[in-house]
Amino acid sequence: MGERVFVYDTTLRDGSQSEDISFSLQDKLRITGKLDDLGVRYIEGGWPGSNPKDAAYFKEVRKLKLKNARIAAFGSTHHPSRTPSTDANLRLLLECKAPVVTLVGKTWDIHVSTVLRVAKPHNLRLIRDSVKYVKPKVDEVVFDAEHFFDAYKNDSLYAMECLEAALEGGADWLVLCDTNGGSLPHEVFDITAQVKQKYNCNIGIHCHNDGDLAIANTIMAVQAGARQVQGTVNGLGERCGNADLCSIVPNLQIKLGYKCFPEAKLKNLRETSLFVSEMGNLKPRIHQPFVGQSAFAHKGGLHVDAVLKNPLTYEHIPPEKVGNTRRILVSDLAGKATIQAKAREFGIDLKSDDPVARDVVGRIKELESQGYQFEGADGSLEILIKKARGHWKKFFEVKRSRVLVSVSANSEQQYSEAVVVLKTPDGAEHRAVAEGNGPVNAMDKAFRQALSAYYPELKGVRLLDFKVRILDETSGTSAKTRVLIESGDEFGNKWGTVGVSENVIEASWQALIDSIDFRLHRKTPKKK
């Protein structure tokens, strides 16, 4: 492992400025613990003077027993009309007792004249005096040189004078910020290299993603000499977001040999990404590099055949290095290699010359032409393969069913009722009536109620998700509908099933039957 690069996470501050994010105090504390366990060196907890929640965070975070991370408090240089000792912002930064204080200061002369409305020498004093005042009272001071790359391109001499002022005050780190996110990688490399050559001090990089280049810019800065990388988990942040640590770290560590996290902890990257999404009440981006659900998913038959022979053919890193897994998707692009791979996942040894593989490929292509989709319906796919092999037992027979939906002008009086009559292998008929908050919920309840006495394992089955897609919008009410159902059980297992019909209730019924049928064929699921 090569040189150390220190990861500075600002998810709790910059990330929380994302338009769709609002972390609670407990969310922030739980994320802190997760980041510390991952091996993050600095965790920026917020701006103590900005709101009560951030103030409470710095009080509560001291109770955590962190193993790796140092907590950083964020604030600005002192107000132009005050001295450091009388500035409320600096006072709150020190009172929060964070071991690291990050001070942001203006370096672009446009901001100095139009935002601060002071002369350029005055701004230099603000930087120097603020850092000098804070430094003796904390372990480290990080100076965030706001808009530094724009500042350098506009007036390089003054931009460098701002850095000199921070160093004269005693700053431990100079962090070069691409605050507007519009710089290009070659510019970031050249300017960072100029700073490193002139000062040979601890340099950091902080990039926003407005040009979709934050990750590339961060990596180029490290190549030019930066040894602190600032970013957020999943690239959360204001406007287009910040540099995504979930891509920066594996690129630096796996591909360039820098040491960011302990090797064993890098495998927790996907889990951490999902955890932050959950805390932010966000749906994970399935196509996110490295940690997304589709990052190592293979669909085309030629791709699947090649990757099964040698993963290097279509995977830039082993997915396990970042805690991800390879996924083989099945669609009308599938070939025999795809079906063989999926069969192995289901515990079925399907030989390449087995005619069943050819038959299943043909059947999948036929069904997908009718609107079925098996990429999110592994349960239905397993049923299809096992039926083709003759390995499917009939656990029940549907004799008849009925669903009633009553709609009233008063939404509180909507009513759904399902009636099912099922026959079990002993010849007995089981009838159940159930009400639900919709027709599918009512059917699900009636189905399990009818069979639970005979098959008690169904008591733990739950309907987790329900998706409806109209396949041909131009056909109006006669259009085919595809229903995808995700189910789960008390053991933490999840499976997806699919149904297609012109009637949404019929499509739902198909998917629901497959869901129950699938669970009955797994008598003793392994607890996760």
| Per-residue pLDDT, 527 | 43
What mean pLDDT do residues 436-448 have? Answer: 87
Strand 228-231, strand 6-9: pairing: parallel
What mean pLDDT do residues 371-389 have? Answer: 79
409 in the same domain as 380: no
Q: Which of 426, 427, 418, 435 is nearest to 513 (CA)?
A: 418
Q: Which two tokens stand for residue 265?
A: 């902890």
pLDDT digits (tens, 9 = 90+) for 12-33: 999 999 998 889 999 999 999 9
270 in the same domain as 181: yes
371, 388, 405: which is the final residue of a domain?
A: 388
Look up the CATH number of the domain holding residue 435. 3.30.160.270
Residue tagged 């805390």 (tokens): 279
Secondary element (H or E) of residue 466:
strand 462-470
pLDDT digits (tens, 9 = 90+) for 251-261: 999 999 999 99
412 in the same domain as 367: no
The total number of structural domains in the chain stands at 3
116 in the same domain as 196: yes
Q: What is the C-alpha to C-alpha distance for residues 84 and 129, in angstroms, rounded to an integer?
A: 7
Q: Is residue 286 part of a domain?
A: no
212 in the same domain as 130: yes
Q: Which two tokens stand for residue 149?
A: 């790359």
pLDDT digits (tens, 9 = 90+) for 294-312: 899 887 767 777 887 888 8
Confidence of residue 437 (pLDDT cuts 50, 70, 90): confident
Among residues of the chain, what percentage have pLDDT more than 70? 94
Q: Is residue 209 part of a domain?
A: yes
DSSP letters along 138-206, please? SSEEEEEEETHHHHHHH-HHHHHHHHHHHHHHT-SEEEEEETTS---HHHHHHHHHHHHHHH-S-EEEE
Q: Is residue 510 part of a domain?
A: yes
DSSP letters along 62-119, please? GGS--SS-EEEEEEEPPPTTS-GGG-HHHHHHHHTT-SEEEEEEE-SHHHIIIII-S-
User: Secondary structure of 294-347 in the HEC alphabet?
Assistant: CCCEECCHHHHHHHHHCHHHCCCCCHHHHCCCCEECCCCCCCHHHHHHHHHHCC
Q: Is residue 373 part of a domain?
A: yes
What mean pLDDT do residues 134-163 have? Answer: 98
181 in the same domain as 42: yes
Q: Which of 15-24, 123-132, 353-362, 432-441 has the lowest mean pLDDT?
A: 353-362
pLDDT at residue 142 greater than cutoff 60? yes
pLDDT at residue 88 greater than cutoff 90? yes
Q: How many CA atoms lie within 13 A of 467 on its CB side?
A: 12
209 in the same domain as 340: no
What mean pLDDT do residues 231-242 have? Answer: 97
414 in the same domain as 371: no
Q: Which of 120-124, 135-139, 304-308, 440-444 has the lowest mean pLDDT?
A: 304-308
| Per-residue pLDDT, 5 | 98
367, 388, 409: which is the final residue of a domain?
A: 388
What mean pLDDT do residues 216-226 have? Answer: 98
pLDDT at residue 9 greater than cutoff 90? yes
Q: What is the C-alpha to C-alpha distance for residues 6 and 221, in angstroms, rounded to an integer?
A: 13
Q: Is residue 118 part of a domain?
A: yes
| Per-residue pLDDT, 528 | 39
Q: Which of 179-193, 297-311, 445-459 has the lowest mean pLDDT?
A: 297-311
401 in the same domain as 384: no
327 in the same domain as 435: no
Q: Which domain covers residue 431, as residue numbers? A: 397-520
Which residue has better confidence, 304 or 150? 150
125 in the same domain as 93: yes
Q: Across the chain, which distance is largest between two alpha carbons, in Å?
A: 93
Q: Which two tokens stand for residue 88?
A: 């409320």
Q: Is residue 288 part of a domain?
A: no
CB 36 within 8 A of CB 262: no
Among residues of the chain, what percentage have pLDDT more than 90? 56
Look up the CATH number of the domain holding residue 29. 3.20.20.70
pLDDT at residue 208 greater than cutoff 80? yes
Q: Is residue 527 part of a domain?
A: no
On whether the pTM is more than 0.85, the answer is: no
Confidence of residue 526 (pLDDT cuts 50, 70, 90): very low
Q: What is the C-alpha to C-alpha distance for residues 187 and 304, in angstroms, rounded to an integer?
A: 40
Give every CB contact of residue 270 below 8 A, 6+ residues apart in sequence. Answer: 290, 291, 322, 323, 324
388, 405, 432: which is the final residue of a domain?
A: 388
Residue tagged 């480290």 (tokens): 140
Q: What is the mean pLDDT of the chain?
A: 89
DSSP letters along 14-75, please? TGGGSTT----HHHHHHHHHHHHHHT-SEEEEE-TTT-HHHHHHHHHGGGS--SS-EEEEEE
| Per-residue pLDDT, 124 | 97
What mean pLDDT do residues 482-501 have? Answer: 86
Q: Is residue 346 part of a domain?
A: yes
Length, in residues, of the chain: 528
332 in the same domain as 269: no
What mean pLDDT do residues 413-423 have? Answer: 86
